[in-house]
Structure 1
């Protein structure tokens, strides 16, 4: 989904990531770290997630020590994977079960905010690099293809999401929203988590993996983390059939557009349909004219 016109220049430390040779040990290290996500968020086995993180970082240390002095990879694999590990540990410190009371929303804000802020601050002020960036405008103006995809996202969401949420019963993984206050809280929560998804999974996890792996491999690994988080959040049953392609597409779109604004817009449009479907499912008759199911 290339933007019309020239693309923004690639950051110096990621310029060659798209053609980087696939190093099996680097892939193993990254895979182990990313497999901690299903351990944390799907199996809910904290001990296994922590073990996988430790194993991945241990392999990364071997990789960094293996490279000859004059050819040592810059930046270090251990350093970058440790930033992902820190973010995952912060998210795993609390249950991601969707709740709308004041304390739960405050806890979500603190934990998810910390999972983005702490790796960013460590990278920027401790490691003294700019591994984690938030390129809002990216590749310039959106072209016809990008505007067309935004329309397609709404149409696909309208066609697919009501059937998924209602036929599978997964809407019950979200709290009942039957008052204006609760509906407002759901709207804020769904949108906020959608924005956070792109800040963490794309601008943090994906960006760090791309410094050491080809784009395709990095995208597959970030999708493991993305989909695992969405599973605990409530997208269960056959939800991964939807969330896996969505996660991979978001990574691909970001590669083509270099625009955080665009991937956030795509996500928020999709989440707008999610919000309406949840209101519809919990309040039969309210939005029946809008949906087929």
Structure 2
């Protein structure tokens, strides 16, 4: 922590209630590197922003530096491969290995080197879902069903995914969509958001993780006016996780959303299948 900063204790960790602009600048540089790495696909600009952010943190807050290093490690690992959707055996193996490493490396360093438990995957919370949680899940289903076909089919964004033909490719798509959706929550929420939340107030940490989240989704295929959907989704996932502190719940929300996307992609390339979308603009 910075000397003299007011702190608050909570389950996510200790954070400065009024972080100095220099501390926020350090985190912002590392987070916005994702725009260059994944959005613009300018790797060296992204790496330069990471180095700049770590350099600022090294001067102003060594505790922040330790956690930004973990986030940077994950970002660099992800940046070693293309995120273009590909259902081949080689591509799916590459995704599995690289994305798993992007979560495992920060987690291992945090637990085995730093000897801390900031990165956690809260599965057994012991709490039943509330009426709010069931209601929010229903809203996600309805909103996704009505809005997502307009985006994917109307904008042609579905073409960012490979042509889906045959049962084998449909199964591969289902596995890929769900695996990446699960990984999103493990990395962006349980790693990036949790580490930033340890140092910054909620909304600052949430906006910073959303920058990384949305940049990743852009390269993955959510382009055009996709950020109008992915930005609110990323922010809401951070909010829901902070409210429920339940990984199974945020994963359920995400995979429910992704199930709708899966149906749309199958329908886009095979109009006779999953022909249940009332807002298909084609």
Q: What's the TM-score, normalizing by structure 2?
A: 0.94
**Consecutive aligned runs of 4 or more in structure 1 exceeding 4 Å deviation:** none
Cα shift at 1:285: 2.2
Say yes or no: does 1:25 pair with 2:12.
no
- Deviations along 1:101-142, whole A, 9 cap, x unmatched? 000000000000000000000100011111210011337111
Q: Distance in 2 between matches of 1:163 and 1:182?
A: 24
Aligned to 1:3: none
Which residue is equivalent to 1:42? 39
Matches within 5 A, 1:91-240: 91-138=78-125, 140-240=127-227
Counterpart-to-counterpart distance in 1, 2:14 and 2:119: 16
CA distance in 1, matches of 2:47, 2:126: 38
Matched, 1:286 2:269: no
Alignment deviations for residues 244-293 of structure 1 (CA, whole Å, 9 cap, x no partner): 00000000001100001110000000000000000011111222234431
Unpaired segments ≥5 residues, structure 2:
1-8
Contact kept, 8 Å, 1:219 with 1:251, in 2: the verdict is yes
Contact 1:26 1:213 in 2 (8 A): no
**Structure with more contact order per residue of length (Cα contacts < 8 Å, sep ≥ 6):** 1
Q: Which position in structure 1 is the counterpart of 2:4?
A: none
1:289–1:248 CA distance, 2 compared to 1 (3 A):
closer
Q: Report the more deviating stretch, 40-49 or 137-146.
A: 137-146
Q: 2: distance between equivalents of 1:275 and 1:184?
A: 10
Alignment RMSD (CA, Å)? 1.4
**1:290, 1:274 → 2: CA distance?**
11
**Structure 1 portions without partners, runs of 5+:** 1-8, 66-75
Contact kept in structure 1, 2:103 and 2:191, CA below 8 Å: yes
TM-score, length basis structure 1: 0.90
Shift of 1:22: 2.6
- SS of the counterpart of 1:36? helix
For the Cα contact (< 8 Å) 1:134–1:199, is it kept in 2?
yes
